[in-house]
Amino acid sequence: MVIKVENLTKRYGDLIALDNFNLEVNHGEIFGLLGPNGSGKTTAINCILSLLKYDKGTVKIYNKPMAPDAYDIKEKIGLVMQNVAVFEELTVYENVDYFCGLYIKNKKLRLKLVEEAIDFVGISYYKDFYPKMLSGGLLRRLNIACGIAHQPKLIIFDEPTVAVDPQSRINILEGIQKLNKAGATIIYTSHYMEEVEQICTRIGIMDKGRIIAIGTKEELKDMISSGEKITVELFSMDNKILEDIKGLPHIVSAEYRDNSLIVRSSKGKNNLVSVLDYLKSNDIDFGRIYSEPPTLNDVFLEITGKELRD
């Protein structure tokens, strides 16, 4: 077990930021912590790393209690913080060298690791630039290089793709998968479900300081009653037809808004054909049709009654 958190509770005054938060992360995972802004992801990370004191609970990392002075554990961890934390006064190279140097004393080894990290995130060209001169995406990559240069066994990424250009986003997501393949256990927090679905091997969905569902993305989608979502462009619709569609077998819900009919079906069944057959047999003209498998947003929606996206 890489991380085991039990009943972690953290209050900011009256606000309960973590509410009996439990988490287990296994070796070799890319564990995704998915939750909307303010759900407590960063607070959880900071408490786990003993950067923030908490009111209740226990944190074990590599089977040892984590504490502010647990330096042997800290050595094994890499942290890429949500906010870019680099020295404005140091160049790209000097920054990576500084943060790597906090862990690696051997100068020769460090030189190699720093070069590798800079290469890895693809900012070699900007080595002598100061952070002020970098775009948001490059700055995030620098932040990552600083966090991973010492080749830690456990790497925590806290929303590393917020406000980056698509190219940097791809670079970052692929990089994380490569690090994982090279043997690192990853914790990845995000409020973008697509990213989490794309790279995480296991996902915990967070809301209001708790993990409300946990599992692989397939397991998560199995937890909910709705399956595929069918959207049909329709320019008019009367209530009778809507009620008829709701009555069709395996249909969980149907609604009409913005010139579209949205039908959710129970899982595992292909219901598109029966819906289209019904529309045709009633001589109703329709436009484009989409069919989507359930997303993590649907999971979130069904458990919390609200959308994951803001």
Partner 1 sequence: MLVYKAFFKIIKKNMAQIAIYFVIFLFLAVFLASIYTDPANMDFMESKIDMVFISHDKDSKLVDGLKEFIGERANFIPIANDEQKLRDALFFREVEYIVRVPKGFTQAFMEGEEIRLEKTVVPGSASSVYMDSLINKYLNTARLYVDNIEGLSQQQLADYISEDLSHQAEVLMLNPDPDKRLNEKRTYYFNYLAYSLFAILVLGISAALKVFNQPDLANRNLCSPLRLRDMDFQLILGNICFAILTCLIMILPSFVMYRGHMFTLKGLLFILNTFVFSLAVLGISFLTGNIVKSRNAISAVANVLSLGTCFISGVFVPRDFLGDTLLKFASLTPTYWYVKSNHIIGSMERLKEEDVRAILTSFIVMLVFAVTAFAVSMVLKKQKYMRQVRGF
Ligand X SMILES: Nc1ncnc2c1ncn2[C@@H]1O[C@H](COP(=O)(O)OP(=O)(O)O)[C@@H](O)[C@H]1O
**Given the rule CB under 6 A, which residues bind ligand X?**
12, 15, 17, 35, 37-43
Closest to ligand X by CB, 42 or 180? 42
Which of ligand X, partner 1, Mg ion, none does residue 110 bind to, with CB < 5 to 8 Å depending on kind? Answer: none
Q: Determine the Cα–Cα distance for residues 108 and 118; give it in Å rounded to an integer.
A: 16
Which of Mg ion, partner 1, ligand X, none does residue 79 bind to, with CB < 5 to 8 Å depending on kind? Answer: partner 1
Please report how many Cα atoms fall inside a 13 Å half-sphere around the Cα of residue 30, on the Cβ side: 22
Which of Mg ion, partner 1, ligand X, none does residue 35 bind to, with CB < 5 to 8 Å depending on kind? Answer: ligand X
Least Å distance, CB 168 to partner 1, is 20
Closest to ligand X by CB, 209 or 227? 209
The footprint of Mg ion (CB under 5 A) covers 41-42, 82
Q: Determine the Cα–Cα distance for residues 44 and 17; give it in Å rounded to an integer.
A: 8
Least Å distance, CB 79 to partner 1, is 5
Provide the edge-to-edge strand list for the sheet that holds 64-65.
Answer: 15-25, 3-12, 56-61, 64-65
The answer to whether 279 and 290 are in contact (CB under 8 A) is no
The answer to whether 230 and 275 are in contact (CB under 8 A) is yes
Least Å distance, CB 163 to ligand X, is 14
The footprint of partner 1 (CB under 8 A) covers 46, 49-55, 68, 71-72, 74-75, 77, 79, 81, 83-90, 94, 98-99, 101-103, 146
Q: Determine the Cα–Cα distance for residues 87 and 189; give it in Å rounded to an integer.
A: 24
Q: Determine the Cα–Cα distance for residues 253 and 245; give it in Å rounded to an integer.
A: 9
Least Å distance, CB 99 to partner 1, is 7
